Amino acid sequence: MRGGEALLKSLENQGVDVVFGYPGGQLLPLYDMIYDSDLRHILVRHEQCAAHAADGYARASGKVGVCIATSGPGATNLVTGIATAYMDSSPIVAIAGQVPTGLIGNDAFQEVDTLGMTMPITKHNFQPITSKEIPEMVKSAFYIAGTGRPGPVVLDLPKDVQEQELDFENDVKINLPGYKPTRKGHPLQIKRAASLIGNAKKPVILAGGGVIISNSSEELLKLSELVGAPVTTSLLGKGSFPEDHDLSLGMLGMHGRLSANFAVDKCDCLIAVGCRFSDRTTGKISEFAKNAKIIHIDIDPAEIGKNVDVDIPIVGDAKIILSNLIRAISQNKMSSKSMEWVNRVKDFKQTCIPKMSFDNTPLKPQQVIKEIAEAVDDDTIVTTDVGQNQMWMAHYFTSRKPKTFLSSGGLGTMGFGFPAAIGAKVAMPESDVVAVAGDGGFLMVSQELATVKEYDIPVVICVLDNRYLGMVAQWQNLFYEKRLSHTHLGESPDFVKLAEAFGVAADRVERPGELREVLSSAINSGEPTLIDVTIDPDEILPMVPPGCGLTEIVGEYKTEPNNSEDVPYHEAAKERAGD
Amino acid sequence: MDDQRTHIISALVLHKPGVLQRVAGLFTRRGFNIESITVGTSEQEEIARMTIIAKGDGKVLEQITKQLNKIIDVIKVRDLEPENTVKRELCLIKVHSPTEKIRAEVVQYVNIFRGRVIDVSPETLTIEMTGASDKIDALIDLVKGFGIKEIARTGPTAMSRGVKTI
């Protein structure tokens, strides 16, 4: 068997049924072998989108996603997608072609140091020098990518190694003496945490992406109800807790819900699960949860104490630790004091109910999100791009289930949403998949319209079209004296015509009430569809300026008319939150 | 926060290409202040031992240790206690010594410091000195006056005193 065949056979042994890729010179042998294999290969139209699609596949399914690109420019184009997966702990295996071993280091045609380039943005990377190494490397790559704190692994495959003969063994052993992720939490720490939570009067849970990765949403819900702890999430934690639950506070942070920001500010015990305390989540560190003892549960020991000093660290798998924690706490009855806290939280949450119905034109984004929410069901996977569209979705869209809200958090990669939706749809063909993008981000990846057409991947793309790089313009408006330097995108293209040029169905929505129906019928059509939604460029989402505490909001919220008339949203919330 | 301190970190790593880059790259990327890295084979063929000298407070050290441990090719990391650690550095110094008188003087210093002269030319003496880094600094200071043509230092390598191993 040849090296490339060994690679394909190894992928098959790992249960891989689909790869997202783009061929090139140094992958000619491998692609020749793919031609004869049963592997489903989806030809994307840009390598970056292969990585994002593999990432979307991984986030939606919990399995390892696979992408392939050639050497040099193929590999460099993968880099953004790999870095995105790395920042958000998404398990992908990226296979890159490399020049033949004899030419490595000669600046050969399309040569780049893929190993060196991807070292800082991967969990690990490999380069087989002989084909014999391939089976073990592939097995190790999948094991590393998918276990512990998941992350991307790169396999850099020289051209001659793809052709070199080997004796293939199905049952290879892997040897990784330096890799032993801790799964069970330390019993003593769990005991200490249980007693701290038991004695807390004002507990809050902060759930991150780790809750979703470890499938511990059920345990999270149980713990929250058991101790009367309201739950806020990071952006990546969205969906880990049903956001229509009484105890849900919504997203925390710079662009988060005020109720969440105030609750974390006031709480006396913060239980952080599977989150890394990103600056977008915490705001100014010295102000963050300053009245609280902090418990931090994470599978990556290096995340503990990195950004926020914690009182009780517990390293391990969130599912196991939460179960143990629930068992330890179950003896303690919920005190009346924590009911008092729950009621207070509900009360100030009421003050903050954002207004979402608007009959203006151009359409208000709140109204757009409301109509999207009405058109989809709980199992629909929504992906977002990066920018205002993302924060509007994070803020106004109610997620009820894990793995249904996919967004580029850590790297904030524009152009993520659409290709991630392609990957998600391929992974979960039974689920409806809707990508929400801004016009800026969508234009970075619009060539993938060819991919969804060619392979008939029925995702629906809602382009929230305000002709601005909205989030950058928002910062310019708030912090740079409204000097909108190069954030206006001009009047082209016509997205409907663009989609039609690719043979993709398209529609335009301009008035309130239209999107709900157009989106519903697009989803039901079973065809890839683009919906261009013209929105108001002047609408901004209030935020916490960088470097400020979580309660120092700028900008005015619009609340439901019944709530605190004439009192600005955050003033009323502040009052209700009390001391 | 405790004070900035120089730490001696001993790490066992897989002895294969790219590992030094993974470790060194980590220091750059995380903004840790690295003073030196030495690496060479250990008592086991497939494992190399690294000695990393880095400056930082307790929090920084904790992060360095944890981040190092995250590297798949790193097997074990330990912050050695300075008082229970033997630490040695090798230094080669090429001193400008054109006269008999200077040469005699330099050789005298070398003897006092228990160094060795390992090469002589009509113009230069090359000294080998192994020891604690501050001793090497002291010898360099002494011979500086004659004119130093070249210095090559390895950076310290270290291990725990007594039976303790990592």
Whether B21 sits inside 8 A of A116 (CB atoms) is yes
CA angle A362, A365, A370 (to 5 degrees): 120
- Portion of chain A with pLDDT greater than 90, in percent: 90
C-alpha A513/C-alpha A185 separation (Å) is 50
Model pLDDT, residue A573: 75
Asked about A287 being catalytic, the answer comes back as no
Model pLDDT, residue A334: 55
Q: Which of residues 64-123 of B touch A (CB under 8 A)?
A: 66-67, 69-76
Three-state DSSP state, B7: strand
Contacting residues for A229 by C-beta, under 8 A, at least 6 apart? A197, A200, A203, A204, A205, A223, A247, A269, A271, A338
* Nearest chain B residue to A178, by CA: B75
Chain A contact for B14 (CB, 8 A cutoff): yes
Whether B72 sits inside 8 A of A301 (CB atoms) is no
Residues of A in contact with B63 (CB under 8 A): 302, 305-306
C-alpha A443/C-alpha A434 separation (Å) is 17
Q: Which of A109, A119, A339, A340 is catalytic?
A: A109
Query: Complex ipTM, two decimals?
Result: 0.92
State the pTM of this model.
0.96
- The total number of residues shown for chain A amounts to 579
Whether B72 sits inside 8 A of A123 (CB atoms) is yes
Model pLDDT, residue A559: 83
Residues of A in contact with B77 (CB under 8 A): none
Three-state DSSP state, B89: strand
Asked about A109 being catalytic, the answer comes back as yes
Q: Beta-strand (E) ranges in A352-502?
A: 381-384, 405-406, 433-438, 460-465
**How many whole angstroms from its chain centre is CA A430?**
21
Query: Do A431 and A381 touch, CB atoms closer than 8 A?
Result: yes
User: In this structure, how many other beta carbons lie within 10 angstroms of the beta carbon of residue A101?
Assistant: 16
Tens-place pLDDT, residues A303-331: 999 999 999 999 999 999 999 999 999 87
Asked about A388 being catalytic, the answer comes back as no
Tens-place pLDDT, residues A30-62: 999 999 999 999 999 999 999 999 999 999 999
Model pLDDT, residue A391: 97
Model pLDDT, residue B2: 57
Chain A contact for B42 (CB, 8 A cutoff): no
State how far residue B67 is from chain A, nearest Cα, in angstroms: 6
Model pLDDT, residue A347: 87
Measured torsion, CA atoms of residues A112, A118, A120, A122, in degrees rounded to the nearest 10: -170
Q: How many CB pairs under 8 A join A and B?
A: 37
B33 band by pLDDT with thresholds 50, 70 and 90: confident
Whether A144 sits inside 8 A of B72 (CB atoms) is yes
Residues of A in contact with B27 (CB under 8 A): none
Burial of residue A102 (number of CB atoms within 10 Å: 0-12, 13-18, 19+):
exposed
Out of B29, B67, B74, the one facing A178 most closely (by C-beta) is: B74
Out of A116, A177, A306, the one facing B75 most closely (by C-beta) is: A177
Asked about A339 being catalytic, the answer comes back as no
At A130, phi and psi to the nearest 5? Answer: -130, 155
> What one-letter code names the amino acid at B10?
S
Q: Which ranges in A404-559 belong to alpha helices (H)?
A: 417-427, 439-445, 449-454, 470-479, 495-501, 514-525
Angle between helix A388-396 and helix A365-375 axes, rounded to 10 deg: 60
B106 band by pLDDT with thresholds 50, 70 and 90: very high
Out of A116, A176, A302, the one facing B66 most closely (by C-beta) is: A302
Whether A179 sits inside 8 A of B29 (CB atoms) is no
**How many whole angstroms from its chain centre is CA A460?**
18
* Nearest chain A residue to B68, by CA: A302
* Nearest chain A residue to B30, by CA: A120
- Portion of chain B with pLDDT greater than 70, in percent: 99
At B93, phi and psi to the nearest 5? Answer: -125, 125
Q: Which of A1, A63, A110, A222 is catalytic?
A: A110
Integer CA distances (angstroms), A98 to A67, A105, A158, in order:
15, 11, 4
Query: Do A318 and A210 touch, CB atoms closer than 8 A?
Result: yes
Model pLDDT, residue A567: 65
Asked about A471 being catalytic, the answer comes back as yes
Residues of chain A with pLDDT under 70: 332-337, 562-568, 579
User: Which of these, A370, A390, A393, A378, lies nearest to A431 by C-alpha position?
Assistant: A378
Residue A155 structure tokens: 């396999």
Out of B13, B66, B74, the one facing A301 most closely (by C-beta) is: B66
State how far residue A144 is from chain B, nearest Cα, in angstroms: 9
